[in-house]
A and B are shown apart, each in its own frame.
Chain A
Amino acid sequence: MTENIGAALKDAKLVLQDGTVFQGKSFGADVSVPGEVVFNTGMVGYPESLTDPSYKGQILVLTYPLIGNYGVPGNDKDEHGLPLSFESEKIRAEGLIVSNYSFNYSHYTAAKSLADWLKEEGKPAIFGIDTRQLTKKLREKGVMLGKIVIGNNDVEFEDPNLRNLAAETCTNNKVTYNHSGKKRIVLIDCGVKLNIIRSLINRRCCVIRVPWDYDFLADKELDFDGIVISNGPGDPKMCTATINNVAAAMKEEHPIFGICLGNQILALAAGGDTYKLKYGHRSQNQPCINNETKRCYITTQNHGYAVNMKTMPSGWEELFVNANDGTNEGLRHKNKPFMSFQAHPEATPGPLDTAFLFDEFLGMMK
């Protein structure tokens, strides 16, 4: 099959709220969707990114131009019932925008092509877009609403940040993994990436995954050693129930570890404030400096909101700072067992440099 000739492929376009139109060809499902258009500069890991619940409501632009090269792995599960190769059970991004799609893929783990997977999951995708031009626009004007329009099937713009996206992506029920684990962790699922669960299980933890608004303090049967607030999509301020529950847990001084959205929720629960970044951090190469050791780590990130450090009450210190733009990348309480990280210690996709933070969290529970 000849690539990029596109004769048999449907025309598709990405329309931005400011009226800009990018013409391309469709290679995913035959549906038009609205979303917030964001870009990610990572060069590998499209199966992981697409299934990352934090992309809920968003149209994902990949700046790396050659996508689909190694296909998509099969949906094998591990002994805990978690998919081995994905970050959630399904594709979470609303749509995908790339420059050059590889119709032919090659990898021993591949079960299908990216196009087939997108079609199966009902997600649209466009190739043939000048993703660099698009990215520069988003960088200059900030993230924007947009829509993928396949053929003539138009849809309305829609702001996903007005919805409670965490509620849309999290588990509906309490699920326990690795019952025999030594430490028992309550994982507040605001749209958790499965590798957070795997990372805790690998450290011999029992993980009790609960929905975003689960009142775990009221659950008298729930016996736990620490709390992890997961990553997740959207504006942290939409998660009022989570913020309240975390604030209550802080009063009881339970060890808490917030990741990504969890960092923001922890800040809000402590009385601090968050704000929306112009175009967010979505990449695998963000340098974060540990303010104490001055050591720099390369991190994987996916967030559109950030903690305003100036609003943090006394007792809190900035654990990590972004070396590029100085934004907050993590918090720690000076004398209570609370810490959080704006980036992703669980990686997938991305570098594994900060996995040690899970160990530090476990250390807080001794």
Chain B
Amino acid sequence: MDKPTKILVLGSGSIKIGEAGEFDFSGSQALKSLREEGIKTVLVNPNIATIQSDEKMADKIYFLPITPYFVEKIIAKEHPDGILLGFGGQTALNCGVVLHDSGVLAKYNVKVLGTPIETIKATEDRELFVKKLNEINLKTPRSKAVTNVNDALVAAEKIVYPIIIRSAYALGGLGSAICKNEEELEDAAKQALANAPQILVEEYLEHWKEIEYEVVRDAYDNCITVCNMENLDPMGIHTGESIVVAPSQTLTNHEYHKLREISIKLIRHLGIVGECNIQFALDQNSDEYRIIEVNARLSRSSALASKATGYPLAFVAAKLALGYSLTEIKNSITQITIACFEPALDYIVVKIPRWDLKKFRNVSRRIGSSMKSVGEVMAIGRTFEEAIQKAVRMLDIGAYGLVGNKAQAKLQGYDIKEELANPTDERLFVIVEAMKEGYGVEQIHKMTGIDEWFLHKLNNVISVGEQLTATKNLTPQLLKTAKQNGFSDRQIAKIIGSKANDVRALRKNHGIVPVVKQIDTLAAEYPAKTNYLYLTYNGNEDDITFRSSRKKIIVLGSGVYRIGSSVEFDWCCVNAVFTLRQLGYEAVMVNYNPETVSTDYDVCDKLYFDEISSETVTDIYEKEKADGVIISMGGQIPNNIALKLAELGVKILGTTPESIDKAEDRQKFSQLLDKLGIDQPRWEELTSVEDAEKFAAAAGYPVLVRPSYVLSGAAMSISFSDEDLEQYLDKASSVSEEYPVVISKFITNSKEIEIDAVAANGKIVLEAITEHIENAGVHSGDATMVFPPKKLYVETTRKISEIAAKIADALKITGPFNIQFLAKENDVKVIECNLRASRSFPFVSKVSKKNFAEIATKAVLGLESAASEKVDAAEGISYVGVKSPQFSFTRLKGADPLTSVEMASTGEVACLGTNTYDAFLKAIMAAGFKLPEKNILISIGGDEAKVKFLPYAKKLSWLGFALFATEHTELFLEKNKIPATMLHKVSEEKSPNILDYLDGKNGEKLHLVINIPTSFTKKELDDEYVIRRKAADYGIPLITNLQLARLLAEAIAAVKPEELEVKAWDEYA
């Protein structure tokens, strides 16, 4: 075998809807696989929070945009002899295709490893794809590729409505829509064509089953299907939006193996080398099938399949790309059998997507053919009931399971029929409600298309719930039945009117405890060498013994990704595990997110793929007889259960649960700050509208309001008037004695600053101060962050350090923490404090090259001395890191793409540079921002903001940009002698109209929209919203924050695109 010596691996960049943590998992496996071969690796990935971009993973790491421009520069510099395109999602694939077509790869002699480019193209270009499949008589949906709206309408007539449209070269079903008539099609086609040159009009296979196969082929034509999966939701709902089970549950042997055979025939015909995902539609009432699509790369589904089966698809795919045969690779779970086999599962896996739609204004909550979910969970059980109830709890949306939940206000008064026919993110609960209201399985099946088998199983859970409700005396038999059907202690307690701890005591008395089972790829046919584990009540015997010669530490993972909690926490957890293992501890990981690296079974000594709840963690802790639990690395989910775990006798390492509570409980924390003489914005917890208005009158508007208890999709808002306040309190939170709100003074024009730190016994050992570009009012997760800070007064940073030290001391912090501050002049106020690792830990760690997660782990183990000198991570750094948010507004139909106090970004990137401008421009480009070519629309509300932006508008004009502006902004610019073209608002229906420039119909298109709204008030259908929304729909870069707009103007003026540095991480020293 002629193996390459240096391979370039493209990552997938930031986490966005449709491309999330799964690519950190596949990329990391690929890098491990190459490293094992002694091959040098070069990684391009601006997602600084990934594990794959740790120095131990690749030889050279570039935090740069994954665009042909930058990748070409890297190729010219690094001279790799091979490139892997299949491990970085659609981003890597698209970039690779361009590099190939433009001759760059040929010019530098870079060989595409694995699946050839021609094959990739055949799977991406619909027409080519259909042609390829026709060659071997495989069926695809009737379909026509078109490039304009008219042709789409003609094609639809022939195919017959309803039809579905899709874009070629798109990830996660972007731009696809189901259209029932001409009108809907015209609308949808226009939008889709704005983002893609070609769309497909296709036969819509309503209520067909959706089945997926993960198929592997080596260069010698050995083929296997590693896993098949069945979507509970039928066709019409994107697989990323569907509840998915593995293996398929309702397919007969004939169907299973027919589709398997077709998969193999197809992968051979296409000539894929490595892994691919094939999606099928299968008629519920006949033997008819259609092949929907092929993804010739690692995908979200392949990550799920890897976790579902224990088969390391990405690891194997990387080896196959090097030219290995499947028979030469070992099954890494058994170590004695080979990788050329198909896993046999003896459990069922259920995946449920997690949505965060409530975070967005105006967004449609209907789920359908394009993806909106931001994360997913995977549950393992030995009954469907057990697995799905686990999965529902894992979503962390406040649900105890399918039944026995707190009454949810919003679930009342909706039309069940409508909800069943047009599902939203709450469909599962709607089905349960419908069943309770007497809808039969058959009836629900007809309305939803969901196979009756699944509905019967859901009904079983309801039945057990009803038995619990009816019981006067909980018998051990019923308790065991409930546990076997996936009921949690808390859920049972809620139903029977007891307490979770009492239910726990009762079941332990009766010996009703879960057993630990292994995932071994061969259904126990061969002994497994790895400890990939789950808990079940459907069994009698543990698969493993728990004795260990080493000290055993459990690390709690991040759980489900959602807006605000993502790959950053997985990075912290994996680094904690690395550190533990390095120090000789046995590291036990608990996590249930299939997109993570921490759930790769060889990362830790033992992996429990299970719930992160006080019940489950305590069960594991008791089985393992562990020496302690680290809860401070996985973000808020493990943090939330600290007190409960301590109550159950679990030893929490690091900062005590009491201290955590003191920081989490607003009242207690506020008192602490008062006692320490630390300033904070004035706030109160209130239970009525009148009290809220009284507070606002006293403190002065604007005020920040949020519900005191946050279930999910925390609704936070800034109110500028009584009217705003009333509207908010009325709509979003229905304030009451039971549901108080927290109201605080919102301080305008102040800077936001954060400190990330590690303390030991109350003394800080390591800290990093970061500044936000955006003023307060933009959620810290949506803010552009600069580290080391460049524009802070020395006095401010000194004060911040001092306050952090005081708090660390008062709470006797041991381990990681993060504090957020407001600073105006030199006046510093504390707004939030979390005694856990924060979202910015990987960012400050990688910029400073001081691993905060590692130091924090050592601190909680008691290995960091309080006596050691405090290290300022910023010291001696001559370069700068800029972290930029990644928004996914394009996918969230209707959502207002405006940053505010509620976090809306789905991911982030960070780039390094010698100066802020360089790093900033690269960072926004890495987050998908296209630098403006010529036409810029400026629309700024309010005189103050207009004045503040004036010098920057001048700069842009001077640089030669053509400025366009809305009426008032144009008048203001004209007065200040800056030429600009006035565009009418969309509602004015006059020419020249903004709309014409947004959709580019008349040939002139806007390249950038700067829209700074007057206030943060939530007027819904105003003209500004239309501008922002259309910009998102038409893929035009949009800036809605004044400070960001100013920095952009400065940066564009200071650095030419071709001058942007192309340097590897280790070149910044």
A interface list, Cβ under 8 A from B: 2-5, 39, 41-45, 47-48, 63-66, 69-70, 73, 85, 99-100, 102, 104-109, 130-133, 135-136, 139, 283-287, 289, 294-296, 298, 323-324, 347-353
B523–A135 CB distance below 8 A: yes
Chain B 503-535 interface mask (CB, 8 Å, partner A; 1/0): 000000000000101000011111100000000
Residues of A within 8 A of B428 (CB): none
Partner of A42, one of B344, B452, B485: B344
Contact stretch, chosen from B40-48, B335-343, B614-622:
B335-343
A39, A107, A286 — most chain B CB neighbours (10 Å): A107
Which listed residue, B344, B452, B527, touches A43 by the CB 8 Å rule?
A: B344
In the bound assembly, the distance between CA atoms of A239 and B1060 in angstroms comes to 80
Cα(A104)–Cα(B463), bound, Å: 14
* Choice from A131, A132, A323, A351 contacting B340 with Cβ under 8 Å: A323
Residue from A48, A63, A284, A349 in contact with B524 in the complex, judged by beta carbons closer than 8 Å: A63
Identity of the chain A residue whose Cβ is nearest the Cβ of B521 in the assembled complex: A285
List the B side residues contacting A47 at CB < 8 Å.
252-253
| A69–B467 alpha-carbon span in the complex (Å) | 24
Give complex CA distance A44, B261 in Å: 15
A289 to B341, CA, bound (A): 11
**Using Cβ atoms and an 8 Å threshold, which residues of chain B touch A65?**
346-348, 382-383, 538
Is B582's CB within 8 Å of the partner chain A? no
Cβ–Cβ contact A69 & B463, under 8 A: no
Q: Which residues of B contact A2 (CB under 8 A)?
A: 460, 463-464, 467
Assess whether A135 is in contact with B222, with CB atoms less than 8 Å apart: no
B488 interfacial contact with A, CB 8 Å: no
A66 touching B384 in the complex, CB below 8 Å, given contacts A102-B453, A107-B250, A283-B525: yes
Shortest Cβ distance from B246 into A: residue: A43
Decide if B137 is an interface residue (CB 8 Å cutoff). Answer: no
Query: Is the beta-carbon distance between B456 and A104 smaller than 8 angstroms?
Result: yes
Residues of chain A with a CB closer than 8 A to B284's CB = 108
Cross-chain contact A106 with B344 (CB below 8 angstroms): no
Apart from the given pairs A44-B251, A139-B524, 19 other A-B contacts in the complex at a CB distance below 8 Å:
A43-B344, A63-B346, A65-B346, A66-B384, A73-B252, A105-B453, A106-B451, A107-B250, A108-B284, A109-B252, A130-B538, A132-B346, A132-B539, A283-B344, A284-B342, A285-B344, A287-B341, A296-B326, A324-B336
- State A286–B341 Cα separation when bound (angstroms): 7
Partner of B220, one of A5, A85, A102, A295: A295
- Chain B residues within 8 Å of A139, by CB: 524-527
Which chain A residue has the least Cβ–Cβ distance from B464? A2
Please, which residues of chain A bring their CB within 8 A of the CB of B457? 3, 102, 104
B interface residue count range (under 10 / 10 to 19 / 20 to 34 / 35 or more): 35 or more
* Closest chain B residue to A131, Cβ basis: B346
Decide: A64 near B325, CB < 8 A? Known: A2-B463, A298-B224.
Answer: no
Complex Cα distance, B522 from A65, in Å, reads: 14
Asked if B643 is at the interface of the complex by the 8 Å CB criterion, the answer is: no
CA distance A298 to B456 in the complex (A): 34
- CB within 8 Å for A323 and B541 given contacts A66-B348, A132-B346: no
7 closest residue pairs by CB, A with B: A45-B253, A104-B456, A41-B523, A41-B344, A106-B452, A106-B453, A63-B523
Q: In the complex, what residue of chain A is closest to B382 when comparing beta carbons?
A: A65
CB pair A44–B540 under 8 Å, yes or no, is: no
CB pair B344–A104 under 8 Å, yes or no, is no
Determine the residue in chain B with the shortest Cβ distance to A323.
B338
Give the distance in Å from the alpha carbon of A102 to the alpha carbon of B337 in the complex: 32
B471 contacts partner chain A, Cβ-Cβ < 8 Å: no
Query: Measured between alpha carbons, how far is A65 from B343 in the docked complex, in Å?
Result: 15
B285 adjacent to chain A (CB < 8 Å)? yes
Contact A108 to B481, CB < 8 A, known contacts A100-B538, A323-B340: no
How many Å from the CB of A22 to the closest CB on chain B? 8
Query: Which of B220, B384, B525 is A41 in contact with, Cβ under 8 Å?
Result: B525
B451 near A298: Cβ-Cβ < 8 Å: no
How long is the Cα–Cα vector from A339 to B340 in the complex, in angstroms?
A: 24
Select one of A43, A100, A107, A324 contacting B247, CB under 8 A: A43
Given contacts A42-B344, A63-B344, A108-B284, contact A99 B540 (CB under 8 A): no
Query: For B384, what are the chain A residues with a Cβ–Cβ distance below 8 Å?
Result: 66
B221 within 8 A of A: yes
**CB-defined A-B contacts under 8 Å, sample of 16:** A3-B460, A4-B485, A45-B253, A47-B253, A69-B453, A99-B382, A100-B383, A109-B252, A130-B539, A132-B517, A284-B344, A285-B341, A287-B327, A296-B338, A298-B342, A349-B257
Report Cα–Cα, A104/B342, bound state, in Å: 28
Asked whether B286 is an interface residue with its Cβ less than 8 Å from the other chain, the reply is yes
> Which A residues are in CB contact (< 8 Å) with B340?
287, 296, 298, 323
A39 contacts across to B, CB distance below 8 A: 524-525
- CB pair A285 B453 closer than 8 Å: no
B272-295: which residues lie under 8 A (CB-CB) from chain A? Answer: 284-286
- Which of B251, B327, B524 interacts with A296 by CB under 8 Å? B327
Inter-chain CA distance A323–B481, complex, in Å, is 41
Assembly CA distance A351 to B224 (angstroms)? 10
The reply to whether B524 and A136 form a contact with Cβ atoms under 8 Å apart is: yes
What is the minimal beta-carbon distance from B408 to any residue of chain A, in angstroms? Answer: 25
B484 within 8 A of A: yes
> Closest residue to A64 on the B side, CB-wise?
B346
- The reply on B500 being an interface residue by CB < 8 A is no
B493 at the interface (CB under 8 A from A): no
Alpha-carbon distance A297/B338, docked complex (angstroms): 12
Once the chains bind, are A294 and B220 in contact (CB under 8 Å)? yes
In the complex, what distance in Å separates the CA atom of A144 from the CA atom of B338? Answer: 28
Residues of A close to B286: CB separation below 8 A: 108
Contact B452 A104 (CB under 8 A): yes
B441 proximity list for chain A (CB < 8 A): 104
Enumerate chain A residues within 8 angstroms of B336, measured Cβ to Cβ.
Answer: 324
Say yes or no: is B543 at the interface (Cβ < 8 Å to chain A).
Answer: yes
Q: Cα distance A139–B344 when bound, in Å?
A: 15
A280 to chain B, nearest CB (A): 10
> With an 8 A cutoff between CB atoms, is B646 at the interface?
no
**Which residue, of B247, B264, B525, has the highest number of chain A Cβ atoms within 10 A?**
B525
CA distance A106 to B327 in the complex (A): 38
- A324 to B600, alpha carbons, bound, how many Å? 24
The answer to whether residues A348 and B344 also contact, given A4-B484, A323-B338 and a CB cut-off of 8 A, is no
Residues of A within 8 A of B253 (CB): 44-45, 47-48, 348-350
Contact status B325-A104, CB under 8 Å: no
Q: Report the bound CA distance from A240 to B1005 in whole Å.
A: 86
Q: A276 vs B1059: C-alpha distance in the bound complex, in angstroms?
A: 74
A360-B1040 Cα distance, complex, nearest whole Å: 70
Separation of A289 and B326 alpha carbons in the complex (Å): 11
Residue pair A132, B453 in contact (C-beta under 8 Å): no
> Are B257 and A66 neighbours in the complex by a CB distance under 8 Å?
no
Query: Which residue of chain B has the shortest Cβ distance to A5 in the bound complex?
Result: B481
* Pairwise interchain contact B540-A133, C-beta atoms closer than 8 A: yes
User: Once bound together, how far apart are the Cα atoms of A3 and B486, in whole Å?
Assistant: 13
Please give me the residue from chain B that is nearest to A128 by CB atom.
Answer: B538
Give, as a whole number of angstroms, the nearest-CB distance from A61 to chain B.
10
Q: Assuming A63-B523, A64-B346, A139-B525, is B341 touching A298 (CB within 8 A)?
A: yes
- Provide the bound-state CA to CA distance between A108 and B249, in Å: 14
Residue pair B451, A295 in contact (C-beta under 8 Å): no
Contact B453 A104 (CB under 8 A): yes
Name B963-1000 residues within 8 Å CB distance of A: none
Q: How far is the CB of B512 from chain A (nearest CB, A)?
A: 14
Give complex CA distance A304, B344 in Å: 19
